[in-house]
Amino acid sequence: MKFLLDTADVEDIKRICAMVPVDGVTTNPGIVAASGKSVFDLLPAIRDAMGGKGMLLAQVISPTVEGMIKDAHTLTSRVENLIVKVPVTPNGLVAIKELTKEGIPTLGTSIYGAAQGFMAALAGAKYLSPYVSRIDAQGGNGPETVKELQSLISQHKPDVEIVNASFKSPRQALECMMIGSAGITLPPSIFDLFIADPAVLAAVTEFGNQWFKAFNRHTLD
């Protein structure tokens, strides 16, 4: 399973890369805007934070077919080995199909339904990102939508990879990880919650105190 981070915070990327292998970083217009930095300054800095390797994804801004294609050309001409995120709208499907013909890899984003995601796969998207928590917020079932989409992809487009996105809790993310999709993209806040159980710190502290009481030191020798 590919593990990606959903952030533009370079320090968080460095911190988490020091703990676990990170396969890539996804961004979106909101994340980039919140950083206050130019996307063309930010993306190289993110790649450097990953050690110069890994998947790097950035999203088009324009709502029109022509604008999406132009945005994709601008992004890929200025940032090497970039995967372009395109919203799965009617115009987005046209853009994905055209960009695929040009050899530009795309990720279909803003996916709220299995059929919608499958249409993006048919149009040529290499990657798909269902918005799990946003599906739940609309009264749907995010993990169930992921299961349905994974079934369609496994049967009909096995070369396409689902990279689940949009999580508000570790449990939500864990459910999608167990489905067997190709990847998951987490914000640093959710990653941190995976390893933030107070019981862990309590156990480590207890053992450390027992050792110190016996040997008057916090080291082996």
Residue pair 99/66 in contact (Cβ under 8 Å)? The answer is no
Q: Which residue has the tokens 């156990």?
A: 203
- The strand pairing partners of 127, in sequence order, are 107, 161
Q: Catalytic pick from 2, 14, 85, 147? A: 85
Beta carbons within 8 Å of 194's beta carbon, 6+ residues apart = 170, 173
Spell out where 137-176 has E strands. 161-164
- What's the alpha-carbon Rg for the chain, to the nearest Å? 20
Q: Is 126 among the residues known to form the active site? A: no
Structure tokens at 116: 């919608």
Structure tokens at 69: 């294609």
Structure tokens at 168: 């508000």
Residue pair 161/2 in contact (Cβ under 8 Å)? The answer is yes
3-state secondary structure of 184: strand
The neighbour count for residue 20, using CB atoms within 10 Å, is 11
Q: Which residue has the tokens 């130019």?
A: 38
Q: Which residue has the tokens 């190289």?
A: 44
The neighbour count for residue 200, using CB atoms within 10 Å, is 10
Tell me which residues are annotated as active site: 85
